[in-house]
Amino acid sequence: MVTSRLQPLVRMLLPLAVALMPVAWIVTSIRTWQAMGEQRVVYLRHRAAMIAGRLETVPDELMEQEPGLAGLVFYVNETPELSGLWNGQELFRTETVRTGERELFRAYVPFHRQEGLRIARIDLDASEADFLVAHARNGLVIACIGSTAWLGMLAYAMRAQRRQAELAHMAELGKMSAVLAHEIRNPLGTIKGFTQLLAERLGAAHRELLEPILSETSRLEQLVRDLLLYGRPPAARERECQWAEVRAGLLVRMRQSGARVECESRAVSWKTDPELLLQALVNLAQNAVESIPAEREGVVRVSLESGAHLGIAIAVTDNGIGFSDEARGRLFEPFFTTKATGTGLGLVITRKLTESLGGTLELTAVEGGGTRAVLRFRERSWNAC
């Protein structure tokens, strides 16, 4: 009970914790880098102090051999800008100076000689202390690259998980659809058969009353067929097939559609399952016809395209109303429809049929109105016949 209540919390917190890890990694690396930067200044100050200490005993000319020393200037007389150092109010004054590409750490340090108090301006090559920050800087770069890769992998894993859940849901839906369709098919056949018989026996006078039952059962039969196809798409049985064969079948099936169907004729053949290809094309052509408003002269164009690296493409283009931006992302969602009597299964089935033929299906808007649906078989090429 408690575990089931905690589960959503754990499911939410876990990705959050995983996403926060790279942030913690970067923040820690920045802190280390900053701390090492401070250590670098401490190191340079220490070096300057050591040099100042040696100035009290070592002759000036020997100081030139001091490693990392970029410049040395002595102030013998009091200068107003360094008065704090002269009168002992300041022990040390430092600044960073840039000369071209070079960064200098400059320290003003008082020291004693026999002649009296002096101030040395010690210029140190700041890069001498870079070894202290180098690892921290590299660590920060690695943390940034690693975190980006980590977050990318997390996003990919989450997307894959969501996709897997979607697929599992679709598979479940498909199974359920197939079971339901099987259960509905037989009683529906009985209802239709007996209604047809009744219509014949009762004659024309009662036919009008029975007509809605017949048309609605036909619609349900189509839905059952779609559900069965959606649940269990048939396996492709491929053979060398002429385009003319598919074209003829398409034109026959679209004869009564009410739109002008212009189907490109080409004497070519390739290996495919003509039944499945025809079914896919009929679905697309039907959708194309249904998208054309009654007042417009409808034209549905079926064209063939081929290219060396493109494989074979069959495009079904219409001059219909097209689809909205909102519909664009949902076209292949099962049961999504904008039609009063649509099932929302046509495109999902068509895509499944196309995939079992080794192809892809894509719908794009045509400029100026209309839709272009393309079946693309990249791995195929046709033969002239």
Q: How far is the CB of 371 from ligand ADP (least distance, A)?
A: 4
Positions in 289-308 near ligand ADP (CB under 6 A): 291
Residue 188 and residue 221 in contact, taking contact as beta carbons nearer than 8 Å? yes
* 147/354 with CB nearer ligand ADP: 354
Q: Which two tokens stand for residue 39?
A: 């250590």
Positions in 342-381 near ligand ADP (CB under 6 A): 342-348, 371
- Sheet holding 69-75: strands in order across? 69-75, 116-125, 102-113, 93-99
Asked whether position 257 contacts ligand ADP by CB under 6 A, the answer is no
- Tokens 């400059």 correspond to 106
Q: How far is the CB of 260 from ligand ADP (least distance, A)?
A: 15
One character per residue 304-343, x = contact with ligand ADP (rule: CB under 6 A): --------------x-x-xx---x---x----xxxx--xx
* 178/244 with CB nearer ligand ADP: 178
Measure the CA–CA gap between 294 and 258, rounded to whole angstroms: 9
Q: Which residue is nearest to ligand ADP (CB)?
A: 346
* 48/282 with CB nearer ligand ADP: 282
> How many C-beta atoms surround the C-beta of residue 6 within 10 A?
11
* 29/177 with CB nearer ligand ADP: 177
- Beta strands 260-263 and 299-307 are parallel
Give the burial string for 142-181 (b: 16+ CB within 10 Å, else e): ebeeebeebeeeeeeeeeeeeeeeeeeeeeeebeebbeeb
Q: How far is the CB of 215 from ligand ADP (least distance, A)?
A: 17
Task: Fill in the DSSP letter of residue 237.
Answer: -
Strand, coil or helix: what is 165?
A: helix
Distances (CA, A) of 276 to 16, 123, 314, 354, 382: 46, 83, 14, 8, 17
* 36/223 with CB nearer ligand ADP: 223
Q: How far is the CB of 289 from ligand ADP (least distance, A)?
A: 9
Q: How far is the CB of 322 from ligand ADP (least distance, A)?
A: 5
* 147/287 with CB nearer ligand ADP: 287
Shortest CA distance to 385 belongs to which of 278, 275, 270? 270
One character per residue 259-288, x = contact with ligand ADP (rule: CB under 6 A): ----------------------------xx
Residues that bind ligand ADP (CB under 6 A): 287-288, 291, 318, 320, 322-323, 327, 331, 336-339, 342-348, 371
